[in-house]
């Protein structure tokens, strides 16, 4: 007779629950392609060597203490993060009209941004792509915004539904917030081209739609930090306002350190200062101030020219391994003569392939081949290796024939 007797058991998280099921599987051939975390060719988690180096230098510095950070986090980290996403020579940064606050990875940055908008922005509706990362609707709803969808993916072409996207944003109320994946759209791996981004930008600016970028994969998609920031930089360059949530989970492999940043690009430095003062009021009662260690690692790497260069090399190696997995899987299906067009595997961008497999096929592959993925048929390419590609190709072949 607990006072909590009435509490009903909640379902597992649709993404993290895949790992729970995987962990219970005793097959030696089991393969987890559910969660988006990088694995080496040997299937092991990777700590970047430049991260180890930065941690070593932090540990060896006796002047480092464990005091609280300010509410908005480590100042140098914030400055360097804004530069990383906007570009080192960004006029918006030089003009001091970007406010950046350190947050709990990408998720925390989205949540703080959402709460700020719900309190201080005139239009409470946020449009998110259909489909999108499963946490987006929950984060923004709980932040106090009203969530609507815009068309994004066309299952017929396994590509962008560009016409649908333009129509839906075109009929959104003036001023609405629009969530955009900066690159490597999750779960589809389908991104607009630069020309399409330009059209989206023109439409959004003409309707005063407010862009909120989710940048969880900068550098991780193409291997280039600049190329993967291009969409954001187009919107910053036009002088208009936008929000950007950055995560260092993937591109520095700092998943569990929970390090990220929210930047709000404003029209003037006076507005940016006032916005920052209100961000503090959002953060203080939520978690008071962010953790020190991850942000110190990032700042150590970003401030040092040699470490920064080493990071870009390790980052490119991760991106390249993922791209190579795409080619290997595509070739393996071709070799097997698996029915259907699988070219989307090599066309899609980033960590995930949106296979097009339906939930019955996904269940079949889990049952018969011990391969785990989300029920929408999304697989993490980073969880694959040359050794496991044949097993996956066999399973896909069996599932569709």
Which residues are annotated as catalytic?
A: 133, 214, 250
**144 CA to centre of own chain:** 21
Residue 53 engages ligand PMP in binding (rule: CB under 6 A)? no
Which range of residues in 101-109, 123-131, 291-299, 319-327 is near ligand PMP by CB under 6 A?
101-109
Stretch that binds ligand PMP, among 39-47, 105-113, 234-242, 362-370 (CB under 6 A): 105-113
Least distance CB 291 / ligand PMP (angstroms): 13
First-to-last C-alpha distance (Å) of the chain: 53
Q: Please state, in angstroms and rounded to a whole number, the distance separating the CA atoms of residues 336 and 334.
A: 5
CA 221 to chain centre: 10
Adjacency order of strands within the sheet including 260-265: 98-103, 260-265, 242-247, 210-215, 177-181, 125-130, 146-151
Q: How many other C-beta atoms can be found within 10 angstroms of the C-beta atom of residue 379?
A: 29
Least distance in Å: CB of 251 to ligand PMP? 10
- Within 22-41, the residues that bind ligand PMP by CB under 6 A are 36
Whether a cis peptide bond, with omega within 30° of 0, leads into 401 is no
* R_g of the chain computed on alpha carbons: 21
Structure tokens of 238? 């036009």
Nearer of residues 266 and 351 to ligand PMP, judged by Cβ: 351
Quick one: tokens of 141? Answer: 């709803």
189: contact with ligand PMP by CB under 6 A: no
Give Cα separations from 203 to 134, 166, 182, 208, 351 (angstroms). 26, 8, 17, 9, 29
Closer residue to ligand PMP, CB minimum distance, 212 or 330: 212
- Interface with ligand PMP (CB under 6 A), residue from 168, 191, 214, 276: 214
CA distance 291 to 274: 24
Q: Which of 200, 204, 216, 379 binds ligand PMP (CB under 6 A)?
A: 216
Binding to ligand PMP (CB under 6 A): which residues in 167-186? 181, 186
Instruction: Build a one-symbol-per-residue string for 114-133: x at contacts with ligand PMP by CB under 6 A, - elsewhere.
Output: -------------------x
> Binding residues for ligand PMP, how many (CB under 6 A)?
12
User: Which residues, other chains included, contact 72 with Cβ-Cβ below 8 Å and sequence gap of 6+?
Assistant: 78, 100, 101, 102, 276, 279, 280, 283
Q: Judged by CB under 6 A, does residue 348 bind ligand PMP?
A: no
Beta carbon of residue 216, minimum distance to ligand PMP (angstroms, whole number): 4
As given in the structure block, the two tokens for residue 148 are 């609507």
From 80-88, 100-108, 304-312, 382-390, give the range in contact with ligand PMP by CB under 6 A.
Answer: 100-108
Q: How far apart are CB 332 and ligand PMP at their closest, in Å?
A: 26
Pick between residue 133 and residue 311 the one whose CB is nearest to ligand PMP. 133
Q: Which of 34, 73, 87, 106 binds ligand PMP (CB under 6 A)?
A: 106
Instruction: Note whether 401 and 365 are within 8 A (CB).
Output: no
Please give the residue ranges that form the binding site for ligand PMP (CB under 6 A).
Answer: 36, 105-107, 133, 181, 186, 214, 216, 247, 249, 260
């Amino acid at each position: 007779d607990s006072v909590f007797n009435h509490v009903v058991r909640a379902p597992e998280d649709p993404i993290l629950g895949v790992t729970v099921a995987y962990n219970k599987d005793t097959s030696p051939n089991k393969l987890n392609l559910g969660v988006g975390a990088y694995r080496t060719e040997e299937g092991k988690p990777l700590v970047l060597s430049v991260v180890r180096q930065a941690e070593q230098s932090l540990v060896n510095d006796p002047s480092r203490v464990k005091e609280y950070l300010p509410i908005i986090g480590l100042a140098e980290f914030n400055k360097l993060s804004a530069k990383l996403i906007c570009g080192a020579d960004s006029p918006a940064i030089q003009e001091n009209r970007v406010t950046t606050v350190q947050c709990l990875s990408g998720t925390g940055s989205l949540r703080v941004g959402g709460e700020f908008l719900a309190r201080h922005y005139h239009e409470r509706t946020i449009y998110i792509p259909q489909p999108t990362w499963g946490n987006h609707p929950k984060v923004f709803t709980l932040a106090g915004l009203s969530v609507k969808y815009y068309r994004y993916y066309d299952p017929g072409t396994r590509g962008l539904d560009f016409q649908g996207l333009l129509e839906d944003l075109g009929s959104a109320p003036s001023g609405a917030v629009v969530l955009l994946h900066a690159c490597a759209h999750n779960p589809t791996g389908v991104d607009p081209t630069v020309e399409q981004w330009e059209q989206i930008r023109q439409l959004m600016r003409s309707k005063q739609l407010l862009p909120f970028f989710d940048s969880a994969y900068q550098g991780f998609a193409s291997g280039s930090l600049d190329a993967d920031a291009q969409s954001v930089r187009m919107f910053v360059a036009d002088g208009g306002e936008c929000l950007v949530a950055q995560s260092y989970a993937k591109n520095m492999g700092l998943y569990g350190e929970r390090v990220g940043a929210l930047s709000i690009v404003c029209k003037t430095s006076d507005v940016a200062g006032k916005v920052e003062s209100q961000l503090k009021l959002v953060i203080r009662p939520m978690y008071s101030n962010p953790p020190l260690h991850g942000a110190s690692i990032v700042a150590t790497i970003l401030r040092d020219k040699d470490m920064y260069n080493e990071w870009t090399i390790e980052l490119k190696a991760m991106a390249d391994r993922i791209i190579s997995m795409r080619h290997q899987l595509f070739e393996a299906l071709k070799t097997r003569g698996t029915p259907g067009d699988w070219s989307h595997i090599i066309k899609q961008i980033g960590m995930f392939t949106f296979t097009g497999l339906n939930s019955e096929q996904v269940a079949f592959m889990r049952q018969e081949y011990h391969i785990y993925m989300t029920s929408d048929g999304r697989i993490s390419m980073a969880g694959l290796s040359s050794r496991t590609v044949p097993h996956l190709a066999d399973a896909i072949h069996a599932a569709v024939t």
